Structure 1
């Protein structure tokens, strides 16, 4: 007999199902339920990384239909209705037999299926009209429960220890970006990182994160973030390049996420090759501005403030201080946001950007990443993960100083 490593508390699932049902009434009022297809979203609503389909009706019990891994799903999930299936055409009958029939209108996790599979689904279920349900999942996942926050806080504490306590003693000027990347992996694995980070945007990938020495910080990037990097290879533009060496008088930007039991935190730590006294004024002032932006933003991570307000203020602030050219990326690397939600994926809802006008909710977790590209130098700045509370953001990835760490 096998035992599950962890069984998600039944009360946790009840809370998540209730949140989705409430959001369905707002974003898909005609839908009688939500159909979920991606394994990560299935995990969020069942407690198991299921290979199949979940039907969450507005009324009645959810039904998890599994293609493979039935025994595991039944061990790990508190759901009472877990059934095998082979084809999308089986879905109506299975849901009906489970007492939670499929409805004429159903919200669907449209990002959870490829174009070809969505065509197959709709051809098999011609009597069902599907409407978008992705915003339901995004908003439900944005507000963390105490169970989720406990995991995220532990993740953040280990993240901070790795980048501020352990890594500085293992890197030195003269190492290549690739060697630094391997040192990051060493300390991460020592502290329990499982080796996987997840992105939510379609087609987006990540492996460890970005390690950028000197002008790599401004190297053209296809990743939707401000920090440039050469990466391992054009086919794998992550981690760091073996041919780029971190030299004295250069910054080293390490923007690498940490994961623990499915949850992620994001943090960027900048290191300086040489004594603190050798940092040029231009570099020091740019980094200080980023720390000030992070501090100002953290104070406003509370329910009455909206992400759009923060972005508008900080982007105007950069213009007034003369930092607009490099703020949030240099040239083509510039991005129109200051941070993002984070949880089961790195790039979660909401975004600190124009158009995100709804105020924060207590229990959200946000990555705040003010960065500054400096031509001919590289990139400096900070990133940390914060919990939204009634009195402002609480940093989960370290405290005290967020300055560059000098390594000689």
Structure 2
């Protein structure tokens, strides 16, 4: 028999056991509050599996209300064992294996089970129901979203570092690589060059089904008002209709134009969001309407940040932003022109760019310490483009603090 060498698996990072314990305790409390009839929850999306195990596994996680979690994977068990402290990491081939595998691990499913519906396609969801015929499923996606909305100190440390590097890149380093005459595509590549040098992971994630992002939006002049499919205020031509991301090679940033860069940073899976506006010319040559609109956005961001504290109501913060924009004379262009206007001021952010909660109507649950929001007041100006700000704020017991820098003005590139 030939002796085979076995590779020693060393993880780039192993999720601390006490970190997972905090997340399990919070999710179980939320399940008992929102879905008290369930015996636990089945999680399918790789991002939520990572959140609850520390490994981006392809499979199913069973988290009982009481007892040990069980992670069932199609492949990569050795990697998962190196990255995650879970005791039960098992292989499986079919949903038919879920009930017997969990039972053998000492954590059987109950009759009623919470399920992450958004983690499965309709086809796979139907298959799950046929394989687990005696189980009653209850949608529990809201429990996961509520759990992830409040970050632990472990998560916040990553986001603070991401925010600091984000500001360094957009405010200090990228302007040195910019000049008028560059195409949006060339500017996007300069953005990637800057971000990669600061440790950007090169991948960003969104929760919304089918939504994609790559770097973000790079828009010269009127490109900022270009109609788009992405659920955000800033317009975008993008690379091509099939890939409406980054910037268009056929659009040049000209002298006397604004340049809007809404590009996120991702460090070790955690995102921060920031928009920086540049102007090709001297500060004194910035058109009055551009300066006034941008200053109005800074004021709205500041007033929102001051109110963003535990107990604040997201829907009220959004409503107040509309009042402030109207008072400043920019109600029409606030968060987009005409039917391109979006109906939110900001959003939660963390393992995905579009986390919960949203600063919008009908989001009435009070803000909690540990939540992190991207606040993005922007104003469209016909014939000019879009100006404004976006920064990432951590909610603390005493209020909010900006993670992505303390300078919000337009950066002039002459």
Q: TM-score scaled to structure 2, two decimals?
A: 0.98
Residue 116 of structure 2 corresponds to residue 109 of structure 1: yes
Alignment correspondent of 1:342:
349
Alignment of 1:138-217 (within 5 A): 138-217=145-224
Alignment correspondent of 1:405:
411
Deviation at 1:148, TM superposition (A): 0.4
Residue 11 of structure 2 corresponds to residue 4 of structure 1: yes
Deviation at 1:341, TM superposition (A): 0.2
Which segments of 5 or more consecutive residues in structure 1 lack a partner in the other structure?
A: none
Deviation at 1:278, TM superposition (A): 0.7
Deviation at 1:152, TM superposition (A): 0.4
Is contact 1:301-1:389 (8 Å) kept?
no
Q: Distance in 1 between matches of 2:338 and 2:257?
A: 20
Alignment of 1:32-51 (within 5 A): 32-51=39-58
Alignment correspondent of 1:309:
316
Residue 399 of structure 2 corresponds to residue 395 of structure 1: no
Deviation at 1:333, TM superposition (A): 2.0
Q: Distance in 2 between matches of 1:113 and 1:192?
A: 32
Alignment correspondent of 1:229:
236
Q: Distance in 2 between matches of 1:161 and 1:320?
A: 33
Alignment correspondent of 1:126:
133
Q: Distance in 1 between matches of 2:161 and 2:108?
A: 40
Q: Distance in 2 between matches of 1:120 and 1:357?
A: 36
Is contact 1:249-1:272 (8 Å) kept?
yes
Q: TM-score scaled to structure 1, two decimals?
A: 0.99
Q: Distance in 2 between matches of 1:387 and 1:404?
A: 23
Deviation string 1:318-360 (CA, Å, 9 cap, x unpaired) is 2232211100111232100000000000000000001111111
Is contact 1:227-1:333 (8 Å) kept?
no
- Cα RMSD (Å): 0.7
Secondary structure of 2:350 counterpart: coil
Secondary structure of 1:215 counterpart: helix
Deviation at 1:244, TM superposition (A): 0.3
Is contact 1:142-1:341 (8 Å) kept?
yes
Counterpart selection for 1:242 from 222, 240, 249:
249
When structure 1 is superposed on structure 2, of 321-330 and 238-247 the one drifting more is 321-330
Is contact 2:300-2:325 (8 Å) kept?
no
Secondary structure of 1:259 counterpart: strand
Is contact 2:266-2:272 (8 Å) kept?
yes
Alignment correspondent of 2:144:
137
When structure 1 is superposed on structure 2, of 279-288 and 320-329 the one drifting more is 320-329
Q: Distance in 2 between matches of 1:215 and 1:351?
A: 27
Alignment correspondent of 1:18:
25
Alignment correspondent of 2:373:
366
Is contact 2:9-2:78 (8 Å) kept?
no
Alignment of 1:266-345 (within 5 A): 266-345=273-352
Which segments of 5 or more consecutive residues in structure 2 lack a partner in the other structure?
A: 1-7
Counterpart selection for 1:378 from 364, 381, 385:
385
Q: Distance in 2 between matches of 1:270 and 1:94?
A: 54
Deviation at 1:301, TM superposition (A): 1.2
Q: Distance in 1 between matches of 2:44 and 2:339?
A: 35
Task: Detail structure 1 runs of 4+ shifted over 6 Å in the superposition.
Answer: none
Q: Distance in 1 between matches of 2:40 and 2:63?
A: 5
When structure 1 is superposed on structure 2, of 308-317 and 220-229 the one drifting more is 308-317
Q: Distance in 2 between matches of 1:287 and 1:129?
A: 53
Secondary structure of 1:350 counterpart: strand
Is contact 2:71-2:89 (8 Å) kept?
yes
Deviation at 1:306, TM superposition (A): 1.0
Deviation at 1:2, TM superposition (A): 2.0
Counterpart selection for 1:60 from 67, 70, 77:
67
